[in-house]
Structure 1
């Protein structure tokens, strides 16, 4: 019997789902991820383009917000089963940054962590407070018997090896020690950073801003991460970045980032 095709889980900061819809549909058609998590929809719930996505063969749930933020989870051939809308810990927080669902046998948290700029200031304080809430919640999931992935735009460059040149970014919220320390604390809980697991010390980027020909010069950052809990991590077989999407006309400044997973947990050899 031939081996089953791996399950592909992807994350993509779309940077405006309505304006980038043709690129999204082209990517879904060519790469066919089984689960796709989107961030930065920049659309209220009523304006989310659900019908074209469903016509492409994907069930979808979304958590929108006018002009800013917004997250969505797509599942090929099925409807995601929503399990959480909004990160717990602060009932006053109304920003659309976290959505969680079960799909294709996984529990997937799609997140858009606050950028935090300018720092210092209230936006950076909010970033750190949101990160602390994520840490508390992630601690409940890392040892779950269910396979769990926390994926999305973390707005954190984990180390200097994850950026083309850290010198000009030292004051940016993405590189601050407080941001990096919290990301490291997530990994210390037992989460596996799938791209770093796959590529070791090789430089790999997921974001190239629109300035100074950063895309053309491959002057990028790695800020889109797929973290796998202890149950899911042994199923990792591959990971990568669909760079061709960043080269399309009027692209997002991010490229889709993905992992391939075996569809059943690997048996441990005696």
Structure 2
């Protein structure tokens, strides 16, 4: 089973790239973030064999999960705050695995309500993870976490000292999710520095490999035991009209 995550930074702009990528790689599940629309191009993906479930928001946020395998029991909001209307969460059961697609808040600038919202959202996600662990549900949480877990996950830590993605509180909450019993799937199989999933459009960041790793998979113990590979596919970032993120692919043994 292959599951990929990709922040596409507008599905309308990136549709040809995503469609071509799917037809080349044929993953079983693709989780998209920042689709930035309430009108997802479902028909275009159905033509190439993918079912679509999404929760959209005009011009901002939005997540979609594309599957070859029929999903069940979709949930389109993260529990814990009924007033939260942001389109950032989509959970489905696919082939016996609870697949959770997230677009975690950026949180900048620090010291504002945006940062408080980010930390509160992470606390709610932690509670969701704890509930699934308690119920012994096999799960994968994937998406754009907007978290740089450690200094090894950015090209220049000094650039991120005052950014919400690398604040001590952010990293502490990330570690607390790992301490529950989940695993950062990429780091479980690849310990190398210089492995990034995002490069800014400015200052030649892509060409100079000035990047950060913020697109992640957290896996439950049952899924961790099945990890065969977890790779960052850098090729789409080099394309014309590319997203500033690139796909991450998790391969699980049957």
Q: Aligning the two structures, in what range does the TM-score lie when normalised by the shorter sequence?
A: over 0.9
Q: Which residue of 2 aligns with 1:229?
A: 220
Per-residue CA distance 1:114-148 (angstroms, 9 max, x = gap): 00011110111110111111111111113543320
Distance 2:144 2:209 in 1: 19
Partner SS for 1:19:
helix
Distance 1:212 1:143 in 2: 46
Q: Which residue of 2 aligns with 1:191?
A: 182
Does 2:87 align with 1:106? no
Does 2:127 align with 1:133? no
Distance 1:225 1:177 in 2: 18
Distance 1:152 1:140 in 2: 19
Does 2:239 align with 1:245? no
Which of these residues, 2, 14, 19, is aligned with residue 13 of structure 2?
A: 19
Q: Which residue of 1 aligns with 2:161?
A: 170
Q: Which residue of 1 aligns with 2:142?
A: 151
Q: TM-score, normalised by structure 1?
A: 0.92
Distance 2:28 2:59 in 1: 28
- In structure 2, runs of 5+ residues without a counterpart are none
Q: Which residue of 2 aligns with 1:61?
A: 53
Distance 1:212 1:189 in 2: 39
Per-residue CA distance 1:43-102 (angstroms, 9 max, x = gap): 01xx211100111110110000001000111111x3322331100000000100000001
Does 2:250 align with 1:259? yes
Greater mean deviation of Cα atoms: 81-90 or 220-229: 81-90
Distance 1:60 1:214, change over 3 A: same
Per-residue CA distance 1:206-260 (angstroms, 9 max, x = gap): 1111011110111110000001101111000111011111111111000000111
Q: Which residue of 2 aligns with 1:42?
A: 36
Matches within 5 A, 1:113-132: 113-132=104-123
Distance 1:41 1:122 in 2: 24
Which of these residues, 133, 143, 147, is aligned with residue 142 of structure 1?
A: 133
Partner SS for 2:221:
coil
Aligned residues: 254
TM superposition shift of 1:201 = 4.1
